[in-house]
Chain A
Amino acid sequence: MPEDVDTPDHDTSTPGTAVSDTPASERNTYRSTRFGTGVRDTPGGEGGTSLSVSRLNRTLQKGHLQRRYTPYRTPRTRSMVSPATDRTNTQEVDAQPDWSGLVRCSLSVYHVTPLYRYRWDKAGVKQLSGALSLHLAQLATAADANMYKAAVTVKEDTDESFALEITVKRRDTPGRSGSLYAVLCNVEGEVSQTEQGAFSVLPLLLMTGPATLQNAVVSWLEQRFDCRVCPMSFQSSDLLWAMALGLVRGNSGKVKQQTLDLQYDVPLKEAGLDKISLQIPVKLAQALLNSVSEDTENGLQLDELHLFRQALETHVFDYFKIHLDMMKLSLVATPVLFVDKVGRLKILSVDHVHAVLRMMTSFALERSPLTACLKAANESRL
C-alpha cells in the first residue's frame, strides 16, 4: 500500500464536486473536459481582458475576470462526528430514538423540498394517517381498497428535532413483506426544522418497501405538503465521504464485514465487463486514511479524501495496469454502511444510524437551494 504520495493534487472529478464558494479561495477549479479532468487555475494570473480568437478553442480558458462565484455548494470539509451528542457510541444510543427499523434493509434515499402547512400537533399527525390511507385506497382497485393500513407517527428527539415515520402494512400478509417503512427526517442539518414557519424542513426521506407503494407515498407527500420528492443519486465525491464515514466509524471490533469494497463503472462496456470491484481489508484502509489526514474525525478534507483515492488507484495501476482514475466510483461498502450511486443505502449497524442520517441530511440539504430563501419565507408568513 503506497503511503506517501507525492502528487498533492487530485482533481475534483465529477459533476457536483466541490468548488469552494468563498471569494478568497485560491483553489478555484474548472471542470472542463468530458473526462472530468480539470486543471487548477492560478489566481492573479493573466487576468487579461483581451479576447483573442486564437485562444477561443482551448477547453480551459479564463474569463476576463477572475472567477469568484461557482454554483456549487458542496463543502470541502466535513466532520464525521456530531459536535454535541455524538462523542461516543454509548451516549449516542441512549439519546437517540429507536432507529432499528432502518437497519439491515435496502433503503431508497430521496430528498424533499420544504413541506408546506405541516401541523405538528397530535390532531394534525392523526389526520395524516387517515389521509394517507385514503390516498392509498383511491389508488387501489375496488377489490382491494382496504388492503393497506397506513400509520404516520412522529418520532420525537431530545432536542426538539423530530422525524416523521410512515408505516404502511398489508392487511392480508403478516410481517414485513409487502409493507413499507419510511422515515422523513432532518438530523442536525444546517437549516434546522425549528426555523419553520409556513414551511418545515425535513429534507431526507428514506424508504424501504415495494416500488409501487413507494411511488404512492411519494405522490401523496407531494400533494399533501406541496413539495417535490426526488430520488437522490450520489456522485463520486458523496460516495467518498460515505466511505470515509464508514472507515472512521467502523473501527469497533463487533462488525462482521472486514473489507472495504469499492466498485467502479467501466466507461465502455465491452466484452461483458461493466464494473470493476476492489476489496481492501478495513484495517489497511483505515491506516491509509489516517496517514493522509491529520484529523479524521473532525476535519477531514476533501483533498485528503482524493489523496486517499489516488493512492489506492495508483496502487491498482501499479499491479494491474487499470486506470481506475478514469472511471467513476459507483458503489461503496464498508462495515457501517453500503451506498451506491443510484441512491440505495443499507445501514449495517444500529449504532451508526444517527451518523449516517446526519451525513445524508447534509447531502440532501446541499441539493436544495433553501438556505438563503427560507428565512424570507418564514418572515413573511401570513
Chain B
Amino acid sequence: MAEEATRQLPNLEDSLSYFTDESASTKVRGNIKLQLALEGIEQHAQNKGLSPDTILSLTQVITSGKFADSTNSRLVKCLIPATTVPEEAAVRAISWMCTNKPSKNVQALLLRWLVLVYDLIDGKDKLHALYGVLFFFIQSDVLCPHVCHLLYLLTRKQDVRLFRVRPLLDMQTRVGAQPHVTGLLSLYKLYRPELINVPLKTHRVFFKQTDKAWAALIRQVQLRNCPREERDQWLKTTQIPITNLINDVDPTTEPRAKKAKLDCIPAIEYSGCLDQNTTAQSDKVPVQLVGSFQELLNNLDNLELPSQAAAVLRSQYLQHLVSCHPQQHVAHRIGYWLYRTLHQDLVDCPSASTKPRVEKLLKALINFTDFLQEGVPLCEMFLWEYLFTWNGLDHRPQILQLITRSRLHPFQRLNDYVLEPLRRLFFTSRVHCKCQILACLTELLRNHVSVEWARHQQTQNSEEETTSLSLFPVDSEVFPALQSIQELVFYVDRLCVVGLQQEDGHAMLMHYTLGFFELVTQLQRRFDIPLVHAPSAPIVYMAMFDTNALTVARICAIMYGFREEVTSLKQKPVQESYGFTSSSIRKFNNCILDICDALWRCKAFSSGKNEASVFHVPKSVVKQTGIEGVGESFSLYNHIALQGFTHTFLQKSLPPGTPITPRPRSRQSTQDRSAYLDFLTSQGLEGIQGFISSFIKVGKSSTPSSAAPSTASSTATSAYST
C-alpha cells in the first residue's frame, strides 16, 4: 500500500516546482495538486530529510506569504534538515516574523522550529545579531515561551544588559513567575549577578518540550544521514537542549541534596562586582554552561572561577581548570577554606549531626586529591592536629585515605604527627583495623615513592620555583628524603613484626604485610629509588611456616624479588644507597639458607647449623620429639601448607592403585621435582618455583641431594657478598 502511495505522489523536484511556480494556484480547498505536492515533500522530509538548499527555497516560499496559513504550517513542519540548516533560512524566517503578516500560530511554529534545529544551524553570528529584534517578541503571550527558549540558547555575556533585565522583571511581577522567563533570567543572573538582585525560583525544567514527536523525527532523520563514526560523536555531543542546564551542573556528580545543611561545600556562584575590570572578564564562561568534555576543552581558557574557590570540589570541570592553570592564590583559598571547615566540624565542635556532611566533604576532598595526585598541605596540617585527638573510629576510611596523600617529610616529623597516633591505634584495635592501617601505610609509601619522590627531587634540583608538578606551594626544605623513606619502611617492618605476633599470624594481617613488602621489593626496579630493604627475619619465618600456601609462595617471591633488587642496584653506577649493609645481607642469607634447607634439601634440623639459623636446635631436643625424618617435615612435599597440593599432584602423576605417598627424598628424581614445581606454578604459586630456580642450581645428576646444597649457599653468598 505504501509503495502505491509513493508511486502516486510526485517526487521532490516536482513538488518543489509547484511551490516555486508563480502561476500555481494557492487555493487550499479542492486543490489536489497542492495536496499532492505537500504530501510529496512531507514524505521525502520524513524519510530522508531536506538538503540545505531545499530548506532555503522552502523558507522562501513560506516567507513569500503567498500561501495560506494552513499550507505554511505544514511546510514549516516539513523543514526537517538532512544535514544542516542554512543560517540564511533562519534569518529569513525571523525577518518575516517581524513583518507581522503571518499569524501568531505560524510565528510560534517558526520559533519552535528554530529552537529544535538550533544546534544544526550552520552559523549563528547573523542570527545572534537579531538578538535585540527577537527580544521584542517576549511581549506576546503566545510567542513568549518560545522566544525565551531561543534567547536562552542565543545569549552571550554581552547580551545581558540592564534594559533587557528590567522588562523581564516587570513581566515577572505582572504575570507571576513563569518558568521560561525565570529560565532566561537565571541565565542572565549567571552571567551578570549584579544586575539581578531578586531571588529566582528554581524550576526543575525551564522550557517545556512541546514538540516531542517533531524533535524525535528530526533526530531520527539526522541519525539516518550521519555516517556511522560521526553518528556516535554526534549522539554524545549534540542534543536538542530541553533540560534546565543550570540546575544540573555536572553530570558526574550526584544530584544535590535537598537540605543545604547536608552540603557545606559552597555553591558555584559568580559575583560580578568582584571583577575589578569587568570589560576584560566579559568573555568568561560560567562552568555551569559546560556540558561535555569537548566543550570544556574549547573553553578552557575562558572558564570563570567561582567566587568561592572551594566550589571546585563540586565540579570535575573546574578541577581540570585549576590543574591546567595553577594559581597560587586559588590554591591558598582552597586550602584555607578546607582547613577551617574540617577543623570546625571535626576538632572544634564535632557532633553527630554534622557527620554525613563531613563525610561528603571528605569524599569530595579525596576525589580532588586523587585527581591532582597531590595532597593539600593545609589539610595535612589539619590531619596532624586531628590525629592527635582522633578516636580512630570517626570517618576512618576517609581519614586513612587522606593520610596516604601526605607529602615527604623528615621522618621525625612524620613519626610525631602521623605514625605515632596510627601506632597507638594499631596496637589498641582489632585485626581488621590493623589491616586498614597497614594498607594505609602501604599506600603512603607508594605515594611517596611514585609521586612525592619525583616532586621532591625536582624542587631540590631546580633553582627557581617550578610549579609544573604541583598546584600547591612546595616547601623547598632540604632533608634526606631517601633516609626518610627508608625509616618509614623500617618502621612499618617492625610494626608488622609486633602486629603479627600479637595477632598470632592472622591470615588477613599477613596478607597486608606481604602486600607491603611486595611494594618494597619493587622500589629499585620500578620506582628507581636506590633503596633495598628485606623483610626482617621474624616475618620471613612466620610466613614460611604459615599454613597458607599462598603466603609461602608470596614470601618466596619477595625473597626472590629482593635478590633481583640487589643485583639491579649493583649494576647501576655507584650512588648513595640505603639498606645495603653487610650485616643485613648476612641476616638475609641466613633466611635464604634456612628456606632452602627446609623446602628443598630436607635438612631442616640437621646438625652443624649456623647459630643464626632458626633450625639451630640442640640434637637432644630434636630426638626427644621422636619424629622420624624431622628434617623433611618442611619439604616441598611435606610442608603443611603444600600437602593438599602434593596430594592432588600425586593423584594425577602416580599410576592408579599405588598408595599416595611421596617417595623418600633419596629416591626422588629431578624430573619429579620439576614436574611438581610446574604443577605448583600452574596452581598460582609461582613464587616457589621462582625462588628455587634463582637460588638453587640443580645439578645434572639424577640425585640432586649432592649438588644442591653447595650451590644454594654459594649462590646466596656470591650474590650478596659486598
Interface set of A (CB-CB < 8 Å, partner B) = 15, 31, 49, 51-53, 56-57, 61, 63, 65, 67-72, 113-114, 116-117, 119, 127, 131, 134, 137-138, 142, 198-199, 222-224, 226-228, 230, 233, 367-370, 373, 376-377, 380-382
Say whether A71 contacts B385, CB under 8 Å.
yes
Say whether A15 contacts B389, CB under 8 Å.
yes
Q: Mark B46-69, 1 if CB is under 8 A from A, else 0.
A: 000000000000000000000000
Say whether B416 contacts A53, CB under 8 Å.
no
Say whether B336 contacts A380, CB under 8 Å.
no
Query: Is B480 in contact with chain A by the CB < 8 A criterion?
Result: no
Say whether A56 contacts B307, CB under 8 Å.
no
Query: Is B498 in contact with chain A by the CB < 8 A criterion?
Result: yes
Complex Cα distance A84/B501, Å? 62
Say whether B415 contacts A53, CB under 8 Å.
no
Complex Cα distance A57/B429, Å? 10
Task: Kindly provide the distance from the CB of A37 to the nearest chain B CB, expressed in whole angstroms.
Answer: 15
Q: Is the interface of A mostly helix, strand, loop or mixed?
A: loop
Contacts of A117 in B (CB 8 A): 274
- Can you list 19 pairs linking A and B with CB atoms under 8 Å apart? A53-B427, A53-B502, A56-B502, A57-B427, A61-B424, A67-B416, A113-B340, A117-B274, A131-B271, A131-B273, A138-B199, A198-B329, A198-B332, A228-B344, A230-B344, A369-B378, A376-B328, A376-B473, A377-B328
Complex partner residue of A373 from B273, B335, B415, CB under 8 angstroms: B335
Query: Is B670 in contact with chain A by the CB < 8 A criterion?
Result: no
Q: Which of B308-335 contact A (CB under 8 A)?
A: 308-310, 327-329, 332-333, 335
Task: Kindly provide the distance from the CB of B118 to the nearest chain A CB, expressed in whole angstroms.
Answer: 32
Query: Is B621 in contact with chain A by the CB < 8 A criterion?
Result: no
Q: Residue of B at shortest CB range from A63?
A: B420
Query: Is B293 in contact with chain A by the CB < 8 A criterion?
Result: no
Say whether B420 contacts A223, CB under 8 Å.
no
Complex partner residue of B494 from A51, A131, A228, CB under 8 angstroms: A51
The 3 tightest CB contacts between A and B, nearest first, are A380-B328, A228-B340, A56-B427
Task: Kindly provide the distance from the CB of A201 to the nearest chain B CB, expressed in whole angstroms.
Answer: 11
Task: Kindly provide the distance from the CB of A107 to the nearest chain B CB, expressed in whole angstroms.
Answer: 19
Task: Kindly provide the distance from the CB of A212 to the nearest chain B CB, expressed in whole angstroms.
Answer: 16
Contacts of B412 in A (CB 8 A): 65, 68-69
Q: Mark B345-385, 1 if CB is under 8 A from A, else 0.
A: 00111000000000000000000000000000110011011
Say whether B413 contacts A228, CB under 8 Å.
no
Complex Cα distance A15/B391, Å? 13
Range for the number of chain B residues in contact with chain A: 35 or more
Query: Is B234 in contact with chain A by the CB < 8 A criterion?
Result: no
Complex partner residue of B423 from A63, A113, A138, A227, CB under 8 angstroms: A63
Which of A116, A367, A373 has the most chain B CB atoms inside 10 A of its CB?
A: A373
Complex Cα distance A369/B385, Å? 11
Q: Mark B98-121, 1 if CB is under 8 A from A, else 0.
A: 000000000000000000000000
Complex Cα distance A49/B491, Å? 10
Given contacts A51-B495, A71-B388, A199-B332, 6 further A-B contacts (CB under 8 A): A68-B413, A113-B340, A138-B197, A227-B336, A368-B336, A376-B328
Say whether B335 contacts A368, CB under 8 Å.
no
Query: Is B339 in contact with chain A by the CB < 8 A criterion?
Result: yes
Q: Residue of A at shortest CB range from B274?
A: A117
Contacts of A376 in B (CB 8 A): 328, 473
Complex partner residue of A223 from B269, B344, B416, B424, CB under 8 angstroms: B269
Complex partner residue of B327 from A71, A127, A382, CB under 8 angstroms: A382
Q: How many A-B Cβ pairs are below 8 Å?
A: 127
Contacts of A131 in B (CB 8 A): 271, 273
Complex partner residue of B385 from A72, A119, A134, A368, CB under 8 angstroms: A72
Query: Is B417 in contact with chain A by the CB < 8 A criterion?
Result: yes
Task: Kindly provide the distance from the CB of B501 to the nearest chain A CB, expressed in whole angstroms.
Answer: 6
Say whether A373 contacts B332, CB under 8 Å.
yes
Complex Cα distance A63/B427, Å? 12
Say whether B271 contacts A224, CB under 8 Å.
yes
Query: Is B541 in contact with chain A by the CB < 8 A criterion?
Result: no
Given A63-B420, A199-B332, A369-B381, CB of A223 within 8 Å of CB of B308: yes
Given A71-B388, A222-B308, CB of A114 within 8 Å of CB of B336: yes
Contacts of A373 in B (CB 8 A): 332, 335, 377-378, 473
Complex partner residue of A67 from B310, B385, B420, CB under 8 angstroms: B420
Q: Which of B147-201 contact A (CB under 8 A)?
A: 197-199
Given A199-B332, A368-B340, CB of A226 within 8 Å of CB of B381: no
Complex partner residue of A53 from B327, B335, B382, B498, CB under 8 angstroms: B498
Q: Residue of B at shortest CB range from A140?
A: B199
Say whether B384 contacts A71, CB under 8 Å.
yes
Query: Is B337 in contact with chain A by the CB < 8 A criterion?
Result: yes
Query: Is B547 in contact with chain A by the CB < 8 A criterion?
Result: no
Task: Kindly provide the distance from the CB of A53 to the nearest chain B CB, expressed in whole angstroms.
Answer: 5
Given A68-B416, A198-B329, A369-B339, CB of A134 within 8 Å of CB of B197: yes
Task: Kindly provide the distance from the CB of A265 to the nearest chain B CB, expressed in whole angstroms.
Answer: 15
Complex Cα distance A71/B418, Å? 10
Task: Kindly provide the distance from the CB of A353 to the nearest chain B CB, expressed in whole angstroms.
Answer: 26
Say whether A113 contacts B428, CB under 8 Å.
no
Q: Residue of B at shortest CB range from A19?
A: B388
Task: Kindly provide the distance from the CB of A103 to the nearest chain B CB, expressed in whole angstroms.
Answer: 28
Which of B309, B413, B417, B420 has the most chain A CB atoms inside 10 A of its CB?
A: B420
Contacts of A53 in B (CB 8 A): 427, 498, 501-502
Task: Kindly provide the distance from the CB of B251 to the nearest chain A CB, expressed in whole angstroms.
Answer: 26
Which of B307, B329, B377 has the most chain A CB atoms inside 10 A of its CB?
A: B329
Task: Kindly provide the distance from the CB of A138 to the nearest chain B CB, expressed in whole angstroms.
Answer: 6
Contacts of B423 in A (CB 8 A): 63
Complex partner residue of A137 from B197, B341, B348, CB under 8 angstroms: B197
Contacts of B385 in A (CB 8 A): 71-72
Contacts of B416 in A (CB 8 A): 63, 65, 67-70
Task: Kindly provide the distance from the CB of A124 to the nearest chain B CB, expressed in whole angstroms.
Answer: 9
Say whether B428 contacts A57, CB under 8 Å.
yes
Contacts of B427 in A (CB 8 A): 53, 56-57
Say whether B337 contacts A226, CB under 8 Å.
yes
Q: Which of B396-445 contact A (CB under 8 A)?
A: 412-413, 415-417, 419-420, 423-424, 427-428
Query: Is B266 in contact with chain A by the CB < 8 A criterion?
Result: yes
Say whether B197 contacts A228, CB under 8 Å.
no
Complex Cα distance A94/B306, Å? 44
Contacts of B473 in A (CB 8 A): 373, 376-377, 380
Q: Residue of B at shortest CB range from A28?
A: B416
Say whether B341 contacts A69, CB under 8 Å.
no
Complex partner residue of A370 from B336, B382, B384, B417, CB under 8 angstroms: B336
Complex Cα distance A122/B600, Å? 87
